[in-house]
Homo-oligomer: A and B are copies of this chain.
Amino acid sequence: MPQKFEVHILGCGSALPTRKHLPSCQVVDVRDKLLLLDCGEGAQLAWRKTGLNWQKISHIFLTHAHGDHVFGLPGLISTMGLLGRTAPLFVHGPSTLQPFIQCVVEQFCTNLDYEIHFEPVDSTRHQIIFEDRSMKVWSLPLQHRVPCCGYLIQEKPGLPHILRKMIDFYNIPTWAINHIKAGEDWKTETGEVIPHERLTTPPDPVRSYAYCSDTMPTADLTEWLRGVDLLYHEATYADDDIDQAQRYGHSTARQAATVARAANVKKLLLGHFSARYDDENVLLEEAKSIFQNAFLAHEDLRITP
């Protein structure tokens, strides 16, 4: 079974609140490490419903300093403090977010038992901004009304899979299995060396998830998204509102699908819907006419890249 890589949509609306959607917020669960992407108002309430463990969140990636992407952060920070968090929290985002975070911490979080580290992201450069044993996170410069940055999360290769039959055949003890997975050969009692490749099959292919909210389409972005397994792309408007989209630095569903097709991504998830659409299927149909493997995001959606 592939290792865990899940995206939980907590909110996929845009600036104006509706009865259907919360503002932007997602949790990405990579092998039980939880990343938060944006943190709109109500994020902590939506989080609570997921049943995910608050303490497993160590990194928050914010796209830009617009309220519908960050107004849930003060409550989340406070609540993690009340729940006894001690592990440091890393908040990544354009430097325009620093004054807000600093103000919230100074005014409301003077008694926190954990540290908040703000890590400014250069929203003009495509580069690795975080890396651990399980993943790399790349910045994705977006084109919006203010400095804005999407994120690309790439799994690192997992361990190879053990061939149970071979293990039984050579009577290899359990303690040796992790060594073999890590690349050691096995030496039998008679001194025969069995190459680890004969005892395993290759690890699962690595997967990738890209989060692009809010942005107009750009040629660079399309390049950086090439071959991504799952692309969340904003589709604030339908194409007959393309003037609005351009004016406010957003995309239409058709534009999102055009990016998905040009970048040859595997799956497209549309989100950041304007409050004007009672029936978002108009956005979906528009996208599907360009790129068939498109879906509408919705709160409570859990999806694997």
Copies, count: 2
| Closest B residue by C-beta to A44 | B17
Confirm or deny: A65 has a beta carbon within 8 angstroms of a beta carbon on chain B.
Answer: yes
Confirm or deny: A166 has a beta carbon within 8 angstroms of a beta carbon on chain B.
Answer: no
Measured in the bound complex, the distance between the Cα atoms of B17 and A23 in whole Å is 18
Determine if A15 and B79 form an interchain contact, defined as CB atoms under 8 angstroms apart. Answer: yes
Confirm or deny: A72 has a beta carbon within 8 angstroms of a beta carbon on chain B.
Answer: yes
Determine if B108 and A75 form an interchain contact, defined as CB atoms under 8 angstroms apart. Answer: no
Consensus secondary structure, chain A interface: helix
Contacts of A17 in B (CB 8 A): 44-45, 48, 75, 79
Measured in the bound complex, the distance between the Cα atoms of B100 and A13 in whole Å is 26
Confirm or deny: A66 has a beta carbon within 8 angstroms of a beta carbon on chain B.
Answer: yes
Contacts of A15 in B (CB 8 A): 78-79, 82
How does the 8 Å CB contact mask read for A105-143 relative to B, with 1 for contact and 0 for none? 011100000000000000000000000000000000000
Given A19-B49, A41-B72, list of 18 further CB < 8 A pairs? A15-B78, A16-B79, A17-B44, A22-B45, A41-B41, A41-B74, A65-B107, A66-B108, A67-B74, A67-B78, A67-B108, A68-B75, A71-B71, A71-B75, A99-B107, A100-B104, A100-B107, A103-B103
Confirm or deny: A94 has a beta carbon within 8 angstroms of a beta carbon on chain B.
Answer: no
Contacts of A19 in B (CB 8 A): 48-49
User: Which residue among A17, A23, A65, A106 has the maximum number of chain B CB atoms within 10 Å of its CB?
Assistant: A17
Query: From residue A120, how far is it (CB to closest CB) to chain B in Å?
Result: 15
Contacts of A66 in B (CB 8 A): 108
| Closest B residue by C-beta to A45 | B17
| Closest B residue by C-beta to A109 | B67
Contacts of A44 in B (CB 8 A): 17, 41
Query: From residue A148, how far is it (CB to closest CB) to chain B in Å?
Result: 14
Confirm or deny: A219 has a beta carbon within 8 angstroms of a beta carbon on chain B.
Answer: no
Confirm or deny: A1 has a beta carbon within 8 angstroms of a beta carbon on chain B.
Answer: no
Determine if B41 and A75 form an interchain contact, defined as CB atoms under 8 angstroms apart. Answer: yes
**19 sampled A-B residue pairs with Cβ under 8 A:** A15-B79, A16-B79, A17-B45, A18-B48, A19-B49, A22-B45, A23-B75, A41-B41, A41-B45, A41-B71, A42-B42, A66-B108, A67-B74, A71-B74, A71-B75, A71-B78, A100-B104, A100-B107, A100-B108
Determine if A103 and B99 form an interchain contact, defined as CB atoms under 8 angstroms apart. Answer: yes
Query: From residue A142, how far is it (CB to closest CB) to chain B in Å?
Result: 18
- Give A75-101 interface residues, CB cut-off 8 Å to B: 75, 78-79, 82-83, 99-100
- Give A259-276 interface residues, CB cut-off 8 Å to B: none
Measured in the bound complex, the distance between the Cα atoms of B78 and A106 in whole Å is 22
Determine if A108 and B65 form an interchain contact, defined as CB atoms under 8 angstroms apart. Answer: yes
| Closest B residue by C-beta to A67 | B78
Determine if B48 and A45 form an interchain contact, defined as CB atoms under 8 angstroms apart. Answer: no
